[in-house]
Amino acid sequence: MSIHASAIVHPSAQLAEGVEIGPYAIIEEHAIIGKGTSIGAHAVIGKWTELGENNQIYHLASVGAAPQDLKYKGEECWTRVGNGNVIREFATIHRGTVTGHAETVMGNNNLMMAYSHVAHDCVVGNGNVFANSATLAGHVTIQDNVILGGLVAIHQFTTIGSYSMLGGGTLVGLDIPPYMIATSGKRDATLRGLNLIGLKRRGFSDESISNLKKAYKTLFMAGLKQADAIAKIRAEIVGCAEVDTLLAFIEASQRGICRG
C-alpha cells in the first residue's frame, strides 16, 4: 500500500493491499477500495463508495459524490464500481438516492474518458466506453459493450442496449435497442442501422448478423406495427439468440424505442 503524505484518508475507509493514493487525494468515510486500485492526485472518493480491484482513478476525478438531486437529504446511499475500470480526469460518478435504487452501479472494464458523467441510480454494465463529456442522467441503464461518442447526452430512465454505438453529440430520449448505431436526427437520436463493424469485431457469426439484418428490416422498414413485426420475425427466424435478445429488449421497453 502506498499513500502519499498529503492525501486525506478517513479512518473508517478500508484499503486493501496494493492500493495507491496520490497527492492531495481525499478518501471519505466508509469508502472501500479493492487491491491494486490507484487513486490519482486530487481525486475524491466519496463516502459509501465501494471500488473493486485494479481500477485506475485518474487525477481530479470524483467517484461517489452526493447526487445532484434536490430530494436527496444525505441518506446512506452507495456507489459500487467493479474491477478493471479506468476513470479519467474530471470524470464523475454520483451515488444513488433513496427514491431510486439507493446505489449507482458500474460493472467491470469500463472506460470513462475525461469529463464524462454517470448520475445517480444509473446501472452500467461491462466493457463500455464513454468518450469525452458523454453524460448519463439519473436512472439510466447501459448494458454491455456500448460505445458512447463524445458529448452524448442520455435522458433519465433510458436504456441503451448491448453492442450499440451512439455517435458524438447525440441526444437520446428513447431506448436504443442492442446491436444498433444511432446518431443525431433533427432533434433526437435516430437509428442508422446495425453496428456491423462492431459486431464483426466482437466475433458475431455471419449467420447471426444476417438474421439481425432481416429482423431490422422487418422491425423498422416494413411498415408493420411493432407487435406484428415481432410476430413475423419469431415465425421466420428461429433459434437465433441475438434476435431473441433484440425482441425481448423491445418488448420490455418502458420509454419506447428509438427508430430511423
Catalytic (active-site) positions: 120-121, 138
- Give the sign of the dihedral formed by CA 109, CA 30, CA 65, CA 5: negative
CA atoms of 106 and 96, how far apart (whole Å): 12
Give me the residues paired with residue 183 across strands: 190
Angle 241-252/206-220 helices, nearest 10 degrees?
A: 30
For 192, the 3-state DSSP assignment is strand
Grid cell for residue 227: 407487435
Cβ-proximal residues to 160 (8 Å cutoff; 6+ apart), any chain = 140, 141, 142, 143, 146, 148, 154, 166, 172, 175, 176
